[in-house]
Amino acid sequence: MSFPILQNDTFLRACRRQATEYTPMWMMRQAGRYLPEYKATRAQAGSFMGLATNVDFATEVTLQPLARYPLDAAILFSDILTVPDAMGLGLHFVEGEGPRFERTADDEASIGQLHVPDMDKLRYVFDAVTSIRHALQGRVPLIGFSGSPWTLACYMVEGGGSSDYRKVKSLMYARPDLMHQMLAINADTVAVYLNAQIDAGAQAVMVFDSWGGVLADSHFRAFSLQYTARVLAQLKRTGPDGQDVPRIVFTKGGALWLQDMGQLDCEVLGLDWTANLQAARSLVGGAPGTPGKALQGNLDPNVLFASEAVIEQEVQRVLDDFGQPHTDASCVGPTHIFNLGHGISQFTPPEHVAGFVDAVHRLSRQMRGKSM
């Protein structure tokens, strides 16, 4: 499979812990509801799933933020819940309520019916990946993604979002055997799914362990971390162009387990806004010339509702928290990919995002003694 030559590889170099001229950045949920052009395309599609399952629409909305902002990566427009939908749970979106499943997997019978689905059911995702790669024309890399086995299980048991995770935690405590059975199937499905995205052209892949942080300390390793590791162990290391494919793991609320996560077979660890970047760098970032993890994050998304001056101040604070950038091109070292600590809010003013992106690029260049 042939794709256009990549013109801006700053994000990928940072993933590999190579020195960069500035701190690259992208935003979780960057293609989404805060953009008026997204809302217009979604209205044209008729529904969220109409948008996500249409290759042309998915390509269009993935590229929309790049038309506004000089971001350093694109992320596939899709949803983590397309995976359990392909497993037969019947995904739909209720206006004002979010995702819902027609069926749940919450007892021995329903969990016994789960299996790794035929990936042809998700062909629209892989076709979108290939379409986006070509539409990007090599401008920036494309990130593919999936939910983590634990996060998917939360939705599959609860039937949708949850405020207390009562059902999934009750199942975990009462029938840990069933929970492990589900998580193993989820992990193998996620691995096959991400490998298909890599084959289709994804240049990096990210595992969103969005709800790992709701677990008790004693259970995070057994029910979340173990199965994220199982996914990573099965992932392809190179794409169709022969280039390596960095792997990113983001656990919301995961700073407590950062030392354990540092043992994961991945290149990048994403951090939410509760984590201290300096401490994370010391713990898992690795000294120059030694192994370690690149770090991604971690501005509080609500900062983007503040004034331009405050946004710039907070960007500088995050850059300062990470510390002096790695600038030695002769070896690997600690690197930082700027991002939000979670997804951008749908209410964020788009013009505030423009100031945010500019501040990250400008201030991070200044820290390296480089001008725009």
Active-site positions read 29, 33, 42, 79, 155
Supply 297's token pair.
């994050």
DSSP designation for 225: I
Whether residue 339 is preceded by a cis peptide bond, meaning omega within 30 degrees of 0, is: no
Q: Tell how far CA 327 is from the center of its chain.
A: 26
β-pair type (98-101, 91-94): antiparallel
Supply 255's token pair.
């700073």
> Is residue 30 marked as binding?
yes
Amino acid letter for position 337: I
> Is residue 33 marked as binding?
yes
Instruction: Name the residue among 265, 218, 215 with its Cα closest to residue 245.
Output: 265
> Is residue 29 marked as binding?
yes
CB crowding 17-54: b at 16 or more within 10 Å, else e: bbbbebbbbbbbbbbbbbbeebeebbeebeebbebbbb
> Is residue 181 marked as binding?
no
Task: List, in order, residues 6 or more apart from 14 with CB less than 8 Å away.
Answer: 20, 23, 24, 294, 335, 336, 337
Quote the CA–CA distance of 294 and 340 in Å, as a whole number: 15
Task: List, in order, residues 6 or more apart from 330 with CB less than 8 Å away.
Answer: none
Quote the CA–CA distance of 296 and 271 in Å, as a whole number: 6
> Is residue 342 marked as binding?
yes
Quote the CA–CA distance of 225 and 262 in Å, as a whole number: 11
> Is residue 79 marked as binding?
yes
**Region of 302 on the Ramachandran plot (φ > 0 left; ψ -120 to 50 alpha; else beta):** alpha
Extract the annotated binding site.
Answer: 29-33, 79, 155, 210, 342
Extract the annotated binding site for substrate.
Answer: 29-33, 79, 155, 210, 342
